[in-house]
Amino acid sequence: MCGIAGIFEFSTAPVDAALLSEMSARLAHRGPDGSATRIDGPVGLAHRRLSIIDLSAAGAQPMPNEDQTKWLIFNGEIYNYIELREELVCKGHVFRSSTDGEVILHAYEEWGTRCLARFNGMWAFALWDASTGQLFCARDRFGIKPFYYTQAGEAFLFASEIKALLAHPDVGGRPNERMLFAFLAFGVMDHTGETMFDGVRQIPPAHYMLIGKDGPGTPERYWDFRINPLPRAADTTGAPGELRSLLADAVSIELRSDVPVGTCLSGGIDSSTLVMLINRIIASDSPRSIGERQNTFSSCYADPRFDECRFVDLLVSGTGINTHRTSPAAQGFLENLEHLIRSQDEPFPGLSIYAQYCVMRLARERVKVVLDGQGADELLAGYIAYQAPYIRGLVSRGKVLTALRETVGSLHTHGRFFREAFSQQRIRSQRRGLLRLGGIPIDRYAGTLDRVLKAEITATNLPALLHFEDRNSMAFSIEARVPYLDHRVAEYLAALPLGEKIRNGITKYVLRRAIKGIVPEEIRCRMDKMGFVAPEEVWMKDDLRVFVNGVITAHSFMTRPYWDAIKVRDDYQAFVEGKTPYSSELWRIVCTELWLRMFFDTRRDTRTPVS
C-alpha cells in the first residue's frame, strides 16, 4: 500500500524533476516508510512506500526488472502473489524479493497486459516499458485503489490523489460543474471517469491505459460481470456453504502480511462475519499477522439511536477479541474538518465518514492493516431501498404473486423506513430548488434490481464509498482491505438469483444463512442498517449551528453561482426551528463551500503543497 505519482513528457523537454518531487511530497501520508523517484527518458516515476509485505530494502520502488528495461510503481496488494510467484518461477523467472510488486513485473513479462486477469487483489500501478516506449497503467476490478490523471501542456501526469496533480499550476484551476451538480443535487460522485476538478480524470475500475509518445490511449476494459436478473433458480441449497467457503478463503489470503492486521467492526452483519471468520482462522492456523487475539476497532456514541456497541459487546463476550473504541463528537469533527476535506480532495456527502475517519485514526495506534466489510451491501442488496426495484422487476416478469409476497414482507419488516423515505424524497426534491446549477437527473433506484445493483457497484454508490475508505485509511497510513470484493466472491454473488439476496423482505438472505451458527443470532437477524454512522441531523441542528451559520452567511458563500444563498440560509433556519425535516443536501452545500475555499479561493500559482 503506497502512493504513486508520475510524469510522461511527450515533447523533447526533460521531465520536471522538481515537479515530480513535489507531487511525491503531497503523498507522504500514503507512504511514510520510504520514498524514491526514477527518471528514465521521457518518464518520471515517484513512489511513497508503506511497507506491508517484505519489509526489506528489496521491496523498494520504483522497482526494476533484471535488465532495468521495465520499472514499476504500485499501490495496493496482490493477495495471490505467492501462488503466482510459484507459477512464474516454474516458467523460469528469477525473483530478488518476496514482494507482490515484483510478481506484477514478471507477470507482465510473461503475459503482457493479460496479466491483469490473473491478479486477485487491489491495485493501481504504472509500469514503464522502455523497450516498447509505453507506460502501462491499470486499476483493480472495483477501483479500490485510486488512479488520477490529467494532461498539462505536453505532459501526462498521474497520481494516487488529486492533490498531487495540483502541484502543477495549470491543473484543476476550475470546478467541474457537471460533477458538482450530480453531487449537490443527488449526492453522487465518482460515477464517471471525471472528477470535481475540471480536466482531472480517473482510470475507471477494471480498466487499463497505455501511454506512448503520441499521447494517452483510451482506457480499455479488461474485466466485467453480470448480475443475474432471475428471481429464483431450481436449486440453490448449496449456496450458503459455497459462499461461506469462498468468503473464508478471501479472508484467509487477505490476512497475508508482514505487519499487524486488525478489523473494522461496526456491529453489523458484514463486519461481524469477517471478525468471526478471522477468529476461526486464528483458532486453526494462528497467523502471525493477527496473533492469538484479534484487534477490532469501532465507533460508539452515548446516544443509543446511533450506537451499535451492544452488538460489539456480543462478539467480545463470545470470542475474547481485543476491542478498541472511539467516540466521535461534534467538537472533534470541527477540529478535524479541514484535515478531513484535504484528505478526501473532494467534498463528501455526509458526516458518517467522520466516524470511519476516527476508526482509522484509532487503528493506527496498533496495526498497519485493517479488514473492512465494504461492498457487501451492493453485492447482497443490503440497502432497504433496493426492495422497490426488486418488486418492480418481479412485476415486469409477470411474477405477480411473488411480488405481492415480497411487498407484504418488505412493509412488515421495513414499514417505518418506507414512510420516512417518502418524506425524505419530498424534502430532497424541494431542496434541489436551492441550486442554480443544472444537469442530468440521477435516480439510483430506477429500473429492475439487477440493473440497479450493477450501477451501484460500478458507478452510483460503491466507487464513492471506496474513495472515502481509501482516503480515510491512508490519511493515517493504514491499509484497508475488503474481502467481499475478492473477485471470486463478487462473481459468485452476482451469478446468484435475486431471490438469494432478498426474500420476504429480508436482505442479504444467502449471507444470513451462510453465517448461521457462526455469528450470534441477535446480529445475524438484524434488520436495521447503520454501519459507521454519525448523528448528522442532531449535530447540524445543535452542535454545528454556529459554525454552519458562519459558513452560509459569509461573503464567499453569498456570491457563489451554484446556489441561491438567501434561500439556503432561510431553509437552514427553518430546519433549526423545527419547521422542516433534515436532509443531507444541507450538509453537501456547506461542505462544497468549504471545499471551494480550500482548493480554489486560496490557491496561488505557486508550488506550495496542498497537504
pLDDT digits (tens, 9 = 90+) for 320-342: 889 999 999 999 999 999 999 99
- Which pLDDT band holds residue 605 (cuts at 50, 70, 90)? very low
State the DSSP H helix or E strand holding residue 126, giving kind and residue range, or none if neither.
strand 121-129
Q: What is the pLDDT of residue 611?
A: 45
15 DSSP 8-state letter: P
Residue 296 inside a domain? The answer is yes
Q: What is the pLDDT of residue 320?
A: 80
Query: Has residue 541 got a pLDDT over 60?
Result: yes
Task: Decide which of 505, 524, 543 is a domain's last residue.
Answer: 524
Q: Is the peptide bond before 62 cis (omega within 30 degrees of 0)?
A: yes
Task: Decide which of 472, 505, 524 is a domain's last residue.
Answer: 524
- Dump the DSSP string for 458-527: IIISHHHHHHHHHHHHHTTT-EEE-GGG-HHHHHHHHHS-GGGTEETTEESHHHHHHTBTTB-HHHHT--
Query: What would the mean pLDDT of 199-219 be, rounded to a whole number?
Result: 97
Query: Following CA atoms 370, 375, 377, 381 in sequence, which dihedral angle do they give, to the nearest 10 degrees?
Result: -160
Q: What is the pLDDT of residue 578?
A: 95
pLDDT digits (tens, 9 = 90+) for 252-279: 999 999 999 999 999 899 999 999 999 9
Rounded distance between C-alpha atoms, residue 276 and residue 599, angstroms: 43
- Which pLDDT band holds residue 533 (cuts at 50, 70, 90)? low
435 DSSP 8-state letter: B
β 207-212/201-202 pair status:
unpaired
Rounded distance between C-alpha atoms, residue 46 and residue 21, angstroms: 7
Strands (E), 305-423: 322-326, 369-371
Angle 539-543-547 (CA atoms, 0-180°, nearest 5)?
105
Query: Has residue 195 got a pLDDT over 80?
Result: yes
Residues 282 and 200 in one domain: no
State the DSSP H helix or E strand holding residue 125, giving kind and residue range, or none if neither.
strand 121-129
Query: Has residue 352 got a pLDDT over 60?
Result: yes
Plot region of 546 (φ>0 → left; ψ -120 to 50 → alpha; else → beta): alpha
Task: Decide which of 472, 496, 524 is a domain's last residue.
Answer: 524
Place of cell 414499514: 415
Residues 22 and 150 in one domain: yes
Residue 186 inside a domain? The answer is yes
Residue 552 inside a domain? The answer is no
CA 375 to each of CA 270, 386, 461: distance values in angstroms, whole numbers, following the listed order: 9, 15, 10
Query: Has residue 432 got a pLDDT over 90?
Result: yes
Residue 100 inside a domain? The answer is yes
Q: What is the pLDDT of residue 505?
A: 94
Beta-ladder partners of 264: 297
Rounded distance between C-alpha atoms, residue 49 and residue 62, angstroms: 10
Contact yes or no for 550/544 (Cβ under 8 A): no
Query: What would the mean pLDDT of 578-605 be, rounded to a whole number?
Result: 92
Residues 213 and 255 in one domain: no
Place of cell 496498533: 366
Q: What is the pLDDT of residue 452?
A: 98
Q: What is the pLDDT of residue 607?
A: 39
Query: What would the mean pLDDT of 14-32 be, rounded to a whole number?
Result: 97
Query: Has residue 163 got a pLDDT over 70?
Result: yes
Residues 321 and 281 in one domain: yes
Residues 174 and 322 in one domain: no
Query: What would the mean pLDDT of 402-427 be, rounded to a whole number?
Result: 89
β 502-503/506-507 pair status:
antiparallel
Residue 231 inside a domain? The answer is no
Distance, C-alpha 163 to centroid of its chain: 17
Contact yes or no for 257/52 (Cβ under 8 A): yes
Residue 101 inside a domain? The answer is yes
Better-predicted residue by pLDDT, 309 or 19: 19
Contact yes or no for 156/5 (Cβ under 8 A): no
Residues 250 and 276 in one domain: yes
Residue 281 inside a domain? The answer is yes
Residues 245 and 141 in one domain: no
Contact yes or no for 119/80 (Cβ under 8 A): yes
| Assigned C-alpha cell, 320 | 475474547
Residue 602 inside a domain? The answer is no
Q: At what angle do helices 269-285 and 239-254 cross, to 10 degrees?
A: 70
Rounded distance between C-alpha atoms, residue 452 and residue 198, angstroms: 28
Q: What is the pLDDT of residue 318?
A: 79
Which CATH number characterizes residue 127's domain?
3.60.20.10
Residues 212 and 264 in one domain: no
Residues 22 and 165 in one domain: yes
Q: Which of 232, 319, 207 is nearest to 273 (CA)?
A: 319
pLDDT digits (tens, 9 = 90+) for 73-91: 999 999 999 999 999 999 9
Rounded distance between C-alpha atoms, residue 56 and residue 507, angstroms: 46
Q: What is the pLDDT of residue 530?
A: 54
Rounded distance between C-alpha atoms, residue 81 and residue 97, angstroms: 12
Structural domains of the chain, count:
2
Compute the chain's Rg from CA coordinates: 24
Q: What is the pLDDT of residue 606?
A: 40
Q: Which of 42, 113, 216 is nearest to 104 (CA)?
A: 113
Which CATH number characterizes residue 332's domain?
3.40.50.620
3-state secondary structure of 593: helix
Contact yes or no for 322/293 (Cβ under 8 A): yes
Share of the chain above pLDDT 70, in %: 97
Q: What is the pLDDT of residue 608?
A: 41
Residues 474 and 355 in one domain: yes
State the DSSP H helix or E strand holding residue 250, giving kind and residue range, or none if neither.
helix 239-254
If you average pLDDT over every residue of the chain, what do you get? Answer: 94
Model pTM score = 0.95
Q: 180-184 long-range contacts, Cβ below 8 Å, gap at least 24?
A: 180/437, 180/562, 180/592, 181/435, 181/437, 181/438, 181/439, 182/439, 182/440, 182/442, 183/346, 183/347, 183/349, 183/588, 183/592, 184/435, 184/437, 184/562, 184/563, 184/585, 184/588, 184/589, 184/592
Query: Has residue 546 got a pLDDT over 50?
Result: yes
Instruction: Tell the burial category of 350 from Cβ atoms under 10 Å away from its Cβ (0-12, 13-18, 19+).
Output: middle
Better-predicted residue by pLDDT, 475 or 291: 475
Q: What is the pLDDT of residue 567?
A: 98
User: What are the two backbone dihedrals, phi and then psi, of residue 21, each rounded to the nearest 5 degrees?
Assistant: -65, -40
pLDDT digits (tens, 9 = 90+) for 467-519: 999 999 999 999 999 999 999 999 999 999 999 999 999 999 999 999 999 99
pLDDT digits (tens, 9 = 90+) for 99-123: 999 999 999 999 999 999 999 999 9
Rounded distance between C-alpha atoms, residue 143 and residue 188, angstroms: 16
Rounded distance between C-alpha atoms, residue 581 and residue 231, angstroms: 37
Q: 18-22 long-range contacts, Cβ below 8 Å, gap at least 24?
A: 18/607, 19/167, 19/168, 19/607, 20/44, 20/46, 21/46, 22/167, 22/607, 22/609
- Which pLDDT band holds residue 1 (cuts at 50, 70, 90)? low
Domain that holds residue 103: 2-221
State the DSSP H helix or E strand holding residue 157, giving kind and residue range, or none if neither.
strand 155-159
Residues 85 and 36 in one domain: yes
Residues 103 and 165 in one domain: yes
Rounded distance between C-alpha atoms, residue 179 and residue 457, angstroms: 19
Rounded distance between C-alpha atoms, residue 387 and residue 180, angstroms: 29
CA 569 to each of CA 167, 347, 427: distance values in angstroms, whole numbers, following the listed order: 35, 20, 16
